[in-house]
């Protein structure tokens, strides 16, 4: 027998039966019902795609009667919508996008009050604006009026680019000609000289860039100090950071850029006990997760429990409190109750 946290309307009956048979056949020693949870990740080639597979395997192997499945998606914006509407149970996203989705601020046209934080500051996604080595472009602000592959529709790079261009460069996203493609296809298009630049908003290193570098000579355009200062001043959730010199073979010195913290969100309707066991399994097997990608080296309990920008799931709060890393707000009777204030609910334009 299998109990799912939710069933997608798009699943047909034969697929449900096959999934149930697979879950029952791989459920370990427990004879109890199996809960299936889904994790929205990213397009192939990104960090979330890799870590998502490792995290779901870890959950399936470590949490009794829970089977976790990673889903390929277009990325951060879509993941907020999927989790906020209950079509996915958990998902990677940019933390500031989670807040925008919770409130119903752009780029979302509705609020998603059922969004809850599981882990904040898992790692930092960074702007990689790629050009061929012989490109005349020397700075990200020089792409105005040009064709730029910006990632798949629904990816977090798109609203981020709009903020970076408007605050740092003085023009809008509409001043470029965007081409919406997954990472691998974006780089292929750049290699074929069909776009002037390709944007990957990722945590380095990523395989897609390394594979591109095996065939093409490229550069990552820097973000000047002036632009970084303007972006961070306008949007304090951005971080002044670098793409490190050892991230890719063709990157011989640190490339200054900007980035944002990434985290994992969940739907509020996932049972508290399921979430508690998922968080517990994550941190009891943290070495496994850290080995999946270099940027997870500094991920730990303290940064997971702080800076979520939206309410945390009660199951996560329970675990963080037990571990002594949950900061109780002064003067409140329940954990961070001030964070659970209703979102604006005002539809975005």
Q: Is 349 a member of any domain?
A: no
**Pair 224, 266 in one domain:** no
Q: Is 345 a member of any domain?
A: no
* Structural domain count of the chain: 2
**Pair 130, 249 in one domain:** yes
Going by C-alpha positions, the residue among 178, 140, 173 that lies closest to residue 159 is 173
Q: Is 347 a member of any domain?
A: no
Residues 6+ apart with CB under 8 A from 342: 113
Residue 101: per-residue pLDDT: 96
**Pair 151, 217 in one domain:** yes
**Pair 135, 8 in one domain:** no
Q: Is 348 a member of any domain?
A: no
Alpha-carbon separation of residue 36 from 16, 67, 278, 348 (angstroms) = 11, 5, 12, 33
Domain finish residue from 245, 261, 277: 261
**Pair 64, 167 in one domain:** no
Q: Is 269 a member of any domain?
A: yes
DSSP string, 255-298: EEEEEEEEEEEEETTS-HHHHHHHHHHHHHTHHHHHTT-GGGTT
Q: Is 70 a member of any domain?
A: yes
CA R_g for the chain? 20
Taking the C-alpha atoms of residue 259 and residue 324, their distance in angstroms, rounded to an integer, is 29
* Residue keyed to tokens 């699943």: 11
- CATH of residue 36: 3.40.190.10
For 306, the domain range is: 2-123+262-340
pTM passes above 0.95: no
**Pair 90, 137 in one domain:** no
Q: Is 80 a member of any domain?
A: yes
Taking the C-alpha atoms of residue 144 and residue 179, their distance in angstroms, rounded to an integer, is 14
Question: Residue 324 gets which letter from DSSP?
Answer: T
Residues 6+ apart with CB under 8 A from 9: none
What is the residue-level pLDDT of the chain in tens, covering all 349 positions?
Answer: 444 444 343 344 344 333 443 444 444 445 678 999 999 998 887 788 889 999 999 999 999 999 999 999 988 899 999 999 999 999 999 999 999 999 999 999 999 999 999 999 888 889 999 999 999 999 999 999 999 999 888 777 788 999 999 999 999 999 999 999 988 899 999 999 999 999 998 888 888 899 999 999 999 999 999 999 999 999 988 989 999 998 999 999 999 999 988 999 999 999 999 999 999 999 999 999 888 888 788 788 888 988 888 999 999 999 999 999 998 765 433 334 334 433 332 222 2
**Pair 9, 63 in one domain:** yes
**Pair 135, 257 in one domain:** yes
Q: Quick one: angle between helices 47-62 and 272-284, nearest 10? A: 110
**Pair 147, 256 in one domain:** yes
Question: Residue 339 gets which letter from DSSP?
Answer: G
**Pair 132, 257 in one domain:** yes
pLDDT digits (tens, 9 = 90+) for 296-311: 887 888 889 888 889 9
Taking the C-alpha atoms of residue 132 and residue 130, their distance in angstroms, rounded to an integer, is 7
**Pair 129, 257 in one domain:** yes
**Pair 252, 187 in one domain:** yes
């Amino acid at each position: 027998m299998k109990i799912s946290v939710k069933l997608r309307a798009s699943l047909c009956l034969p697929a449900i039966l096959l999934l149930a048979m697979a879950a029952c056949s791989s459920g370990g020693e427990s004879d109890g019902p199996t809960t299936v949870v889904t994790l929205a990740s990213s397009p192939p080639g990104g960090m979330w795609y890799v870590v998502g597979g490792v995290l779901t395997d870890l959950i399936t192997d470590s949490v009794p009667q829970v089977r976790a499945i990673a889903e390929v998606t277009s990325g951060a914006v879509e993941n907020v919508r999927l989790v906020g509407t209950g079509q996915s149970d958990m998902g990677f996203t940019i933390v500031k996008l989670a807040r925008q989705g919770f409130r119903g601020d752009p780029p979302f046209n509705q609020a998603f009050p059922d969004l809850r934080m599981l882990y904040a500051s898992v790692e930092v996604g960074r702007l990689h604006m790629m050009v061929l080595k012989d490109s005349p472009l020397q700075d990200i602000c020089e792409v105005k009026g040009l064709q730029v592959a910006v990632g798949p529709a629904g990816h977090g790079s798109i609203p981020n680019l709009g903020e970076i261009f408007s605050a740092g460069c003085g023009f809008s996203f509409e001043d470029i000609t965007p081409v919406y493609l997954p990472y691998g296809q974006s780089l292929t298009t750049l290699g074929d000289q069909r776009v002037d630049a390709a944007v990957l908003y990722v945590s380095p290193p990523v395989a897609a860039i390394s594979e591109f570098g095996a065939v093409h000579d490229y550069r990552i355009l820097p973000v000047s100090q002036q632009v970084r200062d303007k972006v961070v001043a306008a949007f304090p959730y951005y971080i002044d950071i670098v793409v490190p010199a050892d991230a890719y073979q063709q990157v011989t010195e640190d490339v200054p850029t900007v980035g944002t913290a990434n985290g994992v969100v969940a739907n509020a309707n996932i049972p508290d006990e399921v979430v508690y066991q998922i968080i517990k399994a994550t941190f009891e097997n943290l070495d496994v997760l850290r080995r999946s990608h270099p940027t997870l080296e500094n991920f730990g309990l303290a940064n997971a429990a702080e800076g979520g920008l939206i309410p945390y799931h009660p199951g996560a709060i329970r675990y963080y409190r037990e571990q002594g890393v949950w900061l109780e707000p002064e003067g409140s009777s329940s954990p961070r109750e001030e964070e659970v204030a209703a979102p604006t609910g005002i539809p975005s334009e």
